[in-house]
Each structure stands twice: as structure tokens, then as C-alpha cells.
Amino acid sequence: METIHHSRWVKISHWVITVSFLLLAFTGFIILMCHPRLYWGEVGNDLTPALFELPISRNYQHGGWDASVPFFNTAGSQVSASRTYDIFNQNGWGRSLHFLSAWFLVITGVIYLFTGIFTGHFRKRMVPTREEFLFRALWRDVTSHIKQHFGYNPKYNVIQKYSYLIVIFVIMPLIALTGLTMSPAVSAGYPVLLKMFGGVQSARTLHFFASVALELFFVVHVIMIIRSGFKQQIKGMTFGK
Amino acid sequence: MKRLPILTRRKAIITGLAGLGSLLLPGCSKPTPPTYGNILRMGDNLTYLAQRTLLPGQSLAKEYRFNDISSMPATGTTNPGIFNEEYSKLLQNGFADWQLVVEGKVSKSRSYSLKDLQKFPSRKQITKHCCEEGWSAIAEWTGVPLSAVLQNAGIKESARFINFHSYDGWIDSIDLYDAFHPQTILAYAMNGKDLPVPHGAPVRLRVEKQIGYKSMKYLQKIEVTDEFVDTGDSGWAWYTGI
């Protein structure tokens, strides 16, 4: 049976990105545990309302705050308050490991993108053909997925093509740019980033949603690898010719 | 058969990487913070060198309008008086006896009272504080540009790092690039009032292009040095432009 052939540069970048992604997802979760509140706009902290909160560490709605002190003499003034509660915070190594993994992901990702464009990798393998652009073709592929017809196929199917394209050209750039927007030095150099995402906290929230999307993709990707012929797929992405 | 000089993909990638490396080299000739043989700190130093090399000059962090000022939690140390008797005495006297020592690679060691610092031309900025924990807050800070104080003290040409000692026992440093940034100030007022104790009274540092914990509170002493002063790996990145 014909096995899918991947070039060596695809295999290497696939696994470097896999390891970086897993480390980023893990450290990202550790960082989120420290402040499991998400906001919209430029400002967001324990003394301002959250968009939503995640019950993922003892910091969740801990309520250990001194009485708040107003900054101004007006009604409804902005306030200051001090924490009386020892929060969970592993960001010392969490942040450093997150950024180290991000270096690997971004450098490998950029090389992968350029090589993919110049070798025609994306055009030949991922851009849907003329027939596949039709809604009918997409529908046929959706129904065959629902019926769980996961035979091994060396060519990518329509849903596979769309999901790879969305991950590579939408979610990955979005997660990198929202990540950079959270850097005070980068946003000072390129204030357009803050404008683009509507503030540092909006960027943080979008960064979170993008990571959830990637984690869902990862889970479905692994399930599909198993269902469609685990041995052949792994061989194709490792030592297979 | 003679081999034709074809630029293979591998060669192109290697050349590209070598080029990227040479871009970082000017940064490498400067004294950089130690890595403690730790891959995490190597990553932090890479971020430091990359940001110093690739980001545009001394761009300013975004400044906001008065109406954008928000609530702001006070975290970390919120009153050194609990464990530091010296600070507690200064606080009782309204910081009238407080002196900021500036020493090291300056023409003459000096100390500045709060009044001395307030005599300098002041800078007022409404900026965003980004905490490593993930939250942010906007506040108005008034103070004297650190560059003005350093120049007043006669900073020497060989100086490369500015070290800060605080009443809560914290020691940290920034490079000259951040020290001479126009928004790097020694702030003595917050939101139009004297700096409150939980936010670092009487004077705190503001480093707007780094994460919140570099904006040290409760300043006691500034030490100018030629080389990076190693205070050991605190477990936290020294450079936090990200």
C-alpha cells in the first residue's frame, strides 16, 4: 500500500513544533493558573470586572484582599487594595520556559512557512482542488467523517486540508501576534499591535482562545492518526521513505 | 564531473541562520547577565539580545488619558515597615529624613532627599503596568527621569548597569538602555498624590518597557556599575521585556 511521503524538512519541523507546542500548552496553563481571569481591553485585574473566570487553581475567586482605598475623592473612584492571600505563582520558570519554547516554535514555524511556500508544499498538498472547493465535496467529506470511514489515504481529504490551512495560516499567526502584543517592549515598538487586538487584555484573551483551538486540533489530530492507521501515519512522519 | 555551485536548500538555511547569528553578535560583545548554566536563563538572554537588536530605537510605551486610569492592586511587599525598623522610622516622619544614595561609577557619591528629587524637572506619564501574573492596570506616575539624576551625579562613561536596592530587601538592575529611556522615572507621586505605601513610598522606579516587577518599590540606594552585578538566580528572568 502506498504510504504518504513527507520531506525531511516537514518531518523535522513537525516534531520540533510538536514538542514546542506541548511545552507551550503546559506552561501556558501554569501561567493562566496564576491569574485565571480573562478580560477585554487594556486593563484587567482583581479589582476590575472579568469577562470570565476559570476555576483552575486556588487563586480562583480567592477573595483575600484588604479593604480597598480610593485613589480619588469622587464617588465610584478607582481603588487600590493589597492581597492578604498567598497565591499560586509558578511564573518564574513558567514564563521563561514558555518563551524558550516560543523561540523554537517561531523560528521553526517561519522556516516551515517559507520552505512550504517556495517548494509548493502548501499549494500541492493543502490548497483544495477546483472540485474540492464545491460545497458538495465538503459535505461528502463531512458525512464520510460522521460515518467514521477513516481509511488510510496518502492524500489529504477536504476537511484535513481546511483544518491544516486554518491552523497554519490563521491560528498560529494569531497566537504569535497576540503573544507579542503582551510584551511591553514589543508593543512600545509596534503600538499597532495594541490597536489591532484592542488592548493587552484582549490580546491575552484571544491568545487563550487560540490556544484552546490548537489544543482541540491536537486532540482530534491524534485521534485521526490512530483511527486512520497509526503505524503507517507515524512511519510516514518519522523514518518512512 | 565538476559540481555546479548550486545553492541548495540546506545551504540557504545554514546561511540564513549564520546571518541571524551575526545579527546578534553586536549584542554579545556587551556584558550580558549570566545564564547559571541554565537553559531557561539562556532563553531569557536570547530574548534580551533579540529585543535589543531587532526592536526600533527608544520607542515610548503607550501613554493614556486621565479617564483611562484604573483600579490597581498592590502586590509583592506592601509595607516594609513590618520587618524593617529603619523604614518604619522614615515612614513615621513622613519620609522627611529619607535619602536616596547614588554611588558607584559616578563622579562623586551623592544622596538626594525627596525634596531634592522634586526640584528636578518632573515627568508625568499615564502608563500601563503589566504584571507577570497576567493582570494590567493604568495609573498616572509623576517623578524625575532617572537619566536626569544619573547625569546630575556625574555618571561615568564606562557605566553599563544601574543597580537598585530597596527597603524590602530586593536588589535588581537594568541596563543603560532602559535607564536612559525617557519614560524610566523615579516616581514620587501616583494619580496626583504622594506615592502610597502599598505602591512603594516614598519613591519607586518605573520601567515602562518591562514587566511590572522591574519597577521596584521602596528605593533606598542606586549603584552604578561597569559590569553586571550577579545577585544569583532569583528564579525570575532578569530581563522582562516580554
- Percent of chain A that is helix, strand, coil (3-state, to 5): 60, 5, 35
Percent of chain B with pLDDT over 70: 87
Digit-coded pLDDT (tens) for B148-160: 999 999 999 999 9
Residue B27 has pLDDT above 50, yes or no: no
Do A79 and B71 lie within an 8 Å CB cutoff?
A: yes
Q: Give the residue-averaged pLDDT of A218-230.
A: 94
In-domain check, residue A3: no
Residues A66-123 have pLDDT tens digits of 999 999 999 999 999 999 999 999 999 999 999 999 999 999 999 999 999 999 999 9
Same-domain check for residues B139 and B36: no
Residue B162 belongs to some domain of the structure: yes
- ∠ CA B128-A170-A211, nearest 5°, is 60
ipTM of this complex: 0.94
Indicate if B26 and B129 belong to the same structural domain: no
**Please, what's the b/e burial string for A2-23 (b: 16 or more CB within 10 A of its CB; e: otherwise)?**
eebebeebbeebeebbeebbeb
My answer on whether B93 and B146 are in the same domain is yes
> Over the stretch B94-153, which tens digit does the pLDDT of each residue have?
999 999 999 999 999 999 999 999 999 999 999 999 999 999 999 999 999 999 999 999
Write out the three cell numbers for B45: 538572554
pLDDT at position A241, please? 66
3 state DSSP class of B163 = strand
* Model confidence pLDDT, tens digit, residues A49-61: 999 999 999 999 9
With respect to residue B126, please indicate whether it lies within any of the assigned structural domains: yes
The range of the structural domain enclosing residue A148 comes to 8-57+89-237
Q: Let me know whether B37 and B83 are in one domain.
A: no
Specify the pTM: 0.92
**A3 phi and psi angles, rounded to 5 deg:** -100, 150
User: Rounded to whole angstroms, how far apart are CA atoms B14 and A167?
Assistant: 27
Q: Which CATH number fits the domain that encloses residue A192? A: 1.20.950.20
Rounded distance, CA B138 to CA B117, Å? 24
Number of domains in chain B: 2
Local structure of A173: helix, strand or coil? helix
**Is residue A71, in this structure, part of any structural domain at all?**
no
**Candidates A73, A84, A95, A111, partner chain B, best to mutate (most B CBs within 10 A):** A95
User: What is the number of alpha carbons within 13 Å of residue B56 lying toward its C-beta?
Assistant: 8
> pLDDT category, B227, cuts 50, 70, 90?
very high
Chain B residues in contact with A68 by the CB 8 A cut-off are 71
Query: Residue B237 falls within a domain, yes or no?
Result: no
Which chain B residue has its CA at the smallest distance from A192's CA? B62
3-state secondary structure of B15: helix
Domain presence at residue A2: no
* Domain encompassing residue B191: 60-225
Q: What is the pLDDT of residue A148?
A: 84
The Cα–Cα gap between A69 and A80 comes to: 5
Residue B9: what pLDDT?
55
| Cell matching residue A227 | 483511527
pLDDT, residue A131, reads: 86
Number of domains in chain A: 1
DSSP of A2-41, one letter per residue? PPPP--HHHHHHHHHHHHHHHHHHHHHHHHHHHS-EE-SS
The confidence band for A153, taking pLDDT boundaries of 50, 70 and 90, is confident
CATH of the domain at B102: 3.90.420.10
Please tell me if residue B208 touches chain A, with a CB cutoff of 8 Å. Answer: yes
